[in-house]
Amino acid sequence: MPATPPTALDGLAAVKEELAELYRDLHTHPELSFEEHRTAAEAARRAASYGYEVTTGVGRTGVVAVLANGAGPAVLLRADMDALPVKEATGLPYASATEGVMHACGHDMHVTCLLGALKLLADARDTWSGRIVAVFQPAEEAGQGAKEVLADRFYERFGTPDVVLGQHVAPLPAGTVGAHAGPAFAATDAMSVRMYGRGGHGSRPETTVDPVVMAASTVMRLQTVVSREIAGGETAVVTVGALRAGNQHNIIPDEAELRLNIRTYTPEVRARVLAAVDRIIRGEAATAGAEREPEITEVDSFPVLVNDGDAVQKTMAAIGAVIGEERVMDPGQVTGSEDVGNFATSAEPEVPLCYWLFGGADPAKAAAAQRAGTFERDIPSNHSPSFAPLIEPTLSTGVTALVTAALAWLDGRPRE
> Between 66 and 105, whose beta carbon lies closer to Zn ion?
105
- With contacts defined by CB under 5 A, name the span among 10-18, 99-107, 194-202, 214-222 that binds Zn ion: 99-107
Residue 32 Cβ, how far from Zn ion at the closest point, in Å?
Answer: 12
Closest separation in Å from C-beta 166 to Zn ion: 11
Give the nearest distance from C-beta 155 to Zn ion in angstroms: 24
Separation of alpha carbons 304 and 252, rounded Å: 40
**26 lies in the site for Zn ion, by CB under 5 A:** no
Quick one: which of 77, 83, 105, 328 contacts Zn ion (CB under 5 A)? 105
Q: Kindly indicate which of the ranges 51-59, 101-109, 305-313, 394-402 contains the residues binding Zn ion, using the contact rule CB under 5 A.
A: 101-109
| 103/327 with CB nearer Zn ion | 103
In single-letter form, the type of residue at position 97 comes to: A
Contact 173, 361 (CB under 8 A): yes
Stretch that binds Zn ion, among 100-108, 117-125, 231-239, 281-289 (CB under 5 A): 100-108
Q: Is the dihedral of CA 336, 340, 346, 347 positive or negative?
A: negative
Q: CA 331 to CA 181: how far, in whole Å?
A: 10
Q: Spell out the long-range contacts of 323-327 with Cβ–Cβ below 8 A and sequence spacing 24 or more.
A: 323/175, 323/177, 323/397, 323/400, 323/401, 323/404, 327/175, 327/176, 327/177
Question: What's the min distance (Å) between Cβ of 105 and Zn ion?
Answer: 3
For residue 139, which phi and psi values (nearest 5 degrees)?
A: 50, 45
Check: CB of residue 409 under 8 Å from CB of residue 165. yes
Of 97-105, 181-189, 221-229, 269-277, the window that binds Zn ion (rule: CB under 5 A) is 97-105
Which of 9, 105 has the CB closer to Zn ion?
Answer: 105
d(CA 301, CA 153): 21
Closest CB 169 distance from Zn ion, rounded Å: 8
Tell whether residue 170 is a contact of Zn ion (CB under 5 A): no
Q: Which is nearer to Zn ion, 64 or 105 (CB)?
A: 105
Closest listed residue to residue 16, CA positions, set 401, 405, 392: 392
Question: What is the DSSP secondary structure assignment for residue 186, as one 8-state letter?
Answer: -
Q: Cβ atoms within 10 A of the Cβ of 247, count?
A: 7
328 binds Zn ion (CB under 5 A): no
Closer CB to Zn ion, 29 or 78, in the complex: 78
Contact positions vs Zn ion (CB under 5 A)? 105
